[in-house]
């Protein structure tokens, strides 16, 4: 019953905001290190501008037809929708795999190197399958609690680092090369995967306004900017030599003798990855028009797990699945190319 009713779009936006924060929480060596602070801020701005552009086609479809992209495609080309759905299913498998691999990397490198990474992935996937069976609405409701926790976690991490801040005027210079700029902008455009999730789930939401996307992206950009600010000014050159700068930020946070605030960071990153994977599974179910189907979500989770095992067995597979360039290109195809094609094709068909 719950899977069928429409829920407020604000809640989906909240879930997407938390999902996109996983990009910054799980960053390994992608974070800008050679560029100046202002230069990196510009990258964030451009990156989120690109993310915003990725949202436009699905927002147009939602506003004009009140349908999600898959339902829209089904309406326009019932015979071809199976191929589109299959492509989107592959995309969401890729998305889930991308974040699962990044999380498991962070887990083995920073949390517990002795833990069985396969067990970690399997349990995480099992929980995500359960969530996917309950539907997008339940996950979106759950994101309210995750948001409350993440808000506390971020406030604790940032305020715990205030005493470490050392602001240098030289960091405000506008310096950096084009290669770095493209690299960092590409990294900051990774949250565009939320546009694809939105395009599939937008059929199940109500009270949608385009400004909600803008607000979500602004908040997302502010979060990224804050992480960047504290990484540059609280960690300084120490961050340049290390992977997982955002995680280090939580390690250095302290209130007098009270430390160990990285537990907040680890919990937030786990929660955001959980949201991404479960929303991806929900999208897969939606693409196959099997909302809340346990066997269906389970089969795809198994597929993700098999890919996960392959990634750890073959380096090439892992490299391909965690490459942000490939991920962004794939996102571009699913969020922009196909929906725009359908919008143009749909109009022509209507005119005929």
Partner 1 sequence: MNSSLKCNIDTLKNMFASSADFTVRDMVIPSQKPRKAAIITIEGMCNKEIIALSIINPLLAHRFSDGSADEIFDEIKQSVLTSSEIVEFNTFDEAIMFSTSGFAILALDGTDRMLAIGVQGFSFRSVSEPESEVVQRGSREGFTEPLRINMTLIRRRIKNPDLVFETLTVGEESQTQLMLCYLQKSVSPEILDEIRSRLNKSNLKNLLASGYLNDYLEDKGSMSIFSGVGISERPDTVCGKLAEGRVAILVDGTPAVIILPHLFVEEFQSVDDYSNRPYYAAFIRILKYLSFVIAVFLPGVYTAFAQYHPEYFPTGLLIKTAESLSATPLSVTLEALIITFVYEIMREAGLRIPKPLGHAVSIVGALVIGESAVSAGFISSSTLMVIATAAICSYVTASLYPPITVLRFSYIIIGGIFGLWGIVLATCVVLINMCSKTSLGVPYMSSLAPFSMRSMRDVFIRSNWKKLSRHTIKVQKFPETEDVYADKN
- Residues near partner 1 (CB under 8 A): 1-2, 4-8, 11, 107, 111-112, 120, 123-124, 127, 130-131, 134-135, 137-139, 141-142, 144-146, 257-260, 263, 266-267, 270-271, 274
Instruction: Provide the b/e sequence for 49-72 (b: ≥16 CB within 10 Å).
Output: ebbbebbbbbbebbeebeebbbbb
Taking the least distance from each CB to partner 1, the nearer of 227 and 265 is: 265
Q: Report the residue number, 111 or 317, with the smaller CB distance to partner 1.
A: 111
CB nearer to partner 1: pick between 85 and 212: 212
CB 277 within 8 A of CB 22: no
- Write down the least CB distance from residue 211 to partner 1, Å: 19
Nearest distance from residue 295's CB to partner 1, in Å? 16
CB of 5 to partner 1, least distance (A): 4
Nearer to partner 1, 11 or 286 (CB): 11
- For residues 280 and 275, give the distance between their C-alpha atoms in angstroms, rounded to a whole number: 8
Q: Are 276 and 95 in contact (CB under 8 A)?
A: yes
Nearest to partner 1 of 131, 338 (CB atom): 131
Query: Which residue number, 124 or 213, has a Cβ lying nearer to partner 1?
Result: 124
Q: Least CB distance from residue 67 to partner 1, whole Å? A: 17
**Residue spans of alpha helices (H) in the chain:** 9-25, 37-65, 69-76, 81-106, 117-134, 136-160, 178-188, 193-201, 210-230, 237-240, 245-252, 262-287, 294-313, 315-321, 324-332, 338-351
**Comparison of 1 and 350: residue with beta carbon closer to partner 1:** 1
Question: Taking a C-beta distance cutoff of 8 angstroms, is the pair 268, 154 a contact?
Answer: yes
Shortest distance, CB of residue 140 to partner 1, whole angstroms?
8
Closest CB 231 distance from partner 1, rounded Å = 22
Question: Closest approach of Cβ 15 to partner 1, in Å?
Answer: 11
Helix axes 294-313, 262-287, angle to 10 degrees: 120
Taking the complex as a whole, the smallest distance from the CB of residue 320 to partner 1 amounts, in Å, to 27
Cβ–Cβ contacts within 10 Å for residue 307, how many?
Answer: 18
> Under a CB-based contact definition with an 8 Å cutoff, are residues 245 and 31 in contact?
yes
| Cβ atoms of 195 and 55 closer than 8 Å | yes
Please say which residue, 100 or 271, places its beta carbon nearer to partner 1.
271
85, 288 in Cβ contact below 8 A?
yes
Token match 């920073």: residue?
110
């Amino acid at each position: 019953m719950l899977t069928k009713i429409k829920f407020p779009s604000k809640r989906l936006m909240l879930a997407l905001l938390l999902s996109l924060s996983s990009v910054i929480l799980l960053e390994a060596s992608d974070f800008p290190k050679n560029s100046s602070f202002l230069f990196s801020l510009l990258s964030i701005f451009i990156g989120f501008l690109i993310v915003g552009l990725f949202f436009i086609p699905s927002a147009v479809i939602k506003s004009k037809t009140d349908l999600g992209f898959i339902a829209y495609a089904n309406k326009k080309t019932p015979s071809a929708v199976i191929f589109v759905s299959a492509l989107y299913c592959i995309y969401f498998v890729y998305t889930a795999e991308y974040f699962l691999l990044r999380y498991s990397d962070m887990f083995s490198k920073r949390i517990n190197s002795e833990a069985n990474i396969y067990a970690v992935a399997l349990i995480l996937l099992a929980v995500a399958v359960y969530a996917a069976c309950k539907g997008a609405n339940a996950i979106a409701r759950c994101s309210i609690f995750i948001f409350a926790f993440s808000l506390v976690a971020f406030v604790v991490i940032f305020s715990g680092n205030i005493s470490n801040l050392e602001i240098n005027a030289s960091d405000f210079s506008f310096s950096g090369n084009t290669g770095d700029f493209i690299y960092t902008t590409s990294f900051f455009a990774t949250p565009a995967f939320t546009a694809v999730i939105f395009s599939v789930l937008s059929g199940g939401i109500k009270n949608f306004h385009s400004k909600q996307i803008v607000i979500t992206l602004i908040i997302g950009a502010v979060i990224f900017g804050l992480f960047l600010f504290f990484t540059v000014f609280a960690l300084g050159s120490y961050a340049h030599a290390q992977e997982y700068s955002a995680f280090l930020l939580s390690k250095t946070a302290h209130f007098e003798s009270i430390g160990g605030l990285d537990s907040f960071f680890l919990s937030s990153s786990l929660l955001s990855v959980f949201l991404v994977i479960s929303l991806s599974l929900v999208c897969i179910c939606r693409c196959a028009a099997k909302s809340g189907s346990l066997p269906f979500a389970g089969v795809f989770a198994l597929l993700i797990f098999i890919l996960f095992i392959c990634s750890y067995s073959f380096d090439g597979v892992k490299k391909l699945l965690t490459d942000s360039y490939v991920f962004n290109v794939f996102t571009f195809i699913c969020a922009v190319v196909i929906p725009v094609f359908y919008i143009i094709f749909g109009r022509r068909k209507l005119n005929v």
